[in-house]
Amino acid sequence: MNQPVDSILPEPREGEHPFAPYVRILGRGKRGARSLSQAEARHAMSLILQGDVEDTQLGAFLMLLRVKEETAAELTGFVQAVREHTQVPTGLSVDLDWPSYAGKRRHPPWFLFAILLLAQHGLRVFIHGADGHTPERLYLRPTLAAFGLAPATSWTEAAQQLAARQFTYLPLAAWSPQLADIIELRPILGLRSPVHSLARLINPLTAPVTLQGIFHPPYGPLHQESGRLLGYPRTVVIRGEGGESERNPDNALTVLRANGAGDTDEVSWPALFERRHVKPKSLSLHHMYAVWSGAATDSYGEAAVLSTAALALLETGAAASQSAAWELAHTLWEHRDRHRFEQAPVATRPASPAV
């Protein structure tokens, strides 16, 4: 039986490094270059994860992909390779996969409170991410630490946290150090690489729902199609505030979805305010704490929490409609544990200028 064309892998020329064909495929010029097939992308990423690639090859490969822009087939192949090389404990299940890789620079990470509401409702949330790769951003890991919510350091600790509090944050470096190292190349290369996209799609625990926030609108359909090709039960993609899985309540929201049957669709949520809020002068975790405890109010922040939670409640099936999701989110907010945190965090940094 003949192999499908898209599953045939390129052979290196005599004397060539095994990874050289993948650099050549991408770098032959405007007329000769092409995208990788899904099988090629899978094999190329496997070589990277096995350490069978030279540093110069890796840099060239990543930047050629960046210039060309990755395809859904390439992302799917990359993710398949990562999942094959990731050792995940058996029997560890969650309801929602929550990637957090972008960091916040205009508004505080209000989505943390949405996750707390979901956990309060009994949904098990697995958060994974990376931080520090882009200056002037506030990431989730230091935010959790400031609130006294220690991130996990291993799968064992992640399982313990899920059992104790229904959510956990396990950094990418703890379960795929090779990918974490590539993300850390951003200050060296000066540009993001496809790893920033594929990391959001990994869904290591195969949660029935993965909620992905992207920043650049063209990446929305790309992630939606990749989720469809990966066969995840439900992929949910939004243009999140700052690129995180957080709704900006000042804007109408389009939700791109794909399901395990191979179907895609989109739904809309209306904007919650007639006029946009003024961006805060600083990203204050102390202010977040005050809003959670009820000592302060913040119309934007509370709406971001409630609308993000409502979206997740609807997509996980905890609510049957947008109106029911809204009502449940409000109820959870009203009955939150206002004394959950023993002390107020003090981390505050100036918000980035509007762009």
Minimal CA–CA distance to 198: which of 52, 86, 74, 104?
74
Protein fold of 96-350: Pyrimidine Nucleoside Phosphorylase; Chain A, domain 2 (3.40.1030)
- The Cα–Cα gap between 107 and 112 comes to 12
Query: Looking at residue 343, what is its pLDDT?
Result: 78
CA distances from 71 to 56, 77, 81, 194, 219 (A): 23, 10, 16, 10, 10
Query: Looking at residue 186, what is its pLDDT?
Result: 85
Q: What distance separates the 2 farthest-apart alpha carbons in the chain?
A: 70
271 φ, ψ (degrees, to nearest 5)? -65, 150
Query: Looking at residue 349, what is its pLDDT?
Result: 63
The CATH code of the domain at 5-85 is 1.20.970.10
Query: Looking at residue 1, what is its pLDDT?
Result: 43
The ranges assigned to domains in the chain are 5-85, 96-350
Tokens of 231: 């066969």
Query: Looking at residue 350, what is its pLDDT?
Result: 62
Tokens of 293: 């405890």
β 125-129/167-171 pair status? parallel
99's enclosing H/E stretch is strand 96-100
Q: Give all strands (DSSP E) within 163-300, no chain letters.
A: 167-171, 209-214, 234-239, 253-259, 264-269, 282-284
Query: Looking at residue 193, what is its pLDDT?
Result: 83
- The Cα–Cα gap between 264 and 260 comes to 10
Whether 5-85 and 96-350 share one fold: the answer is no
In contact, 111 and 167? CB cutoff 8 Å: no
Per-residue pLDDT of the chain (355 residues; tens, 9 = 90+): 445 556 688 888 988 999 999 999 999 988 899 999 999 999 999 999 999 999 999 999 999 999 999 999 999 999 999 999 999 999 999 999 999 999 999 999 999 999 999 999 999 999 999 987 677 789 999 999 999 999 999 999 999 999 999 999 999 999 999 999 999 888 888 878 888 899 999 999 999 999 999 999 999 999 999 999 999 999 999 999 999 999 999 999 999 999 999 999 999 999 999 999 998 888 899 999 999 999 999 999 999 999 999 999 999 999 999 999 999 999 999 999 999 987 788 766 666 654 3
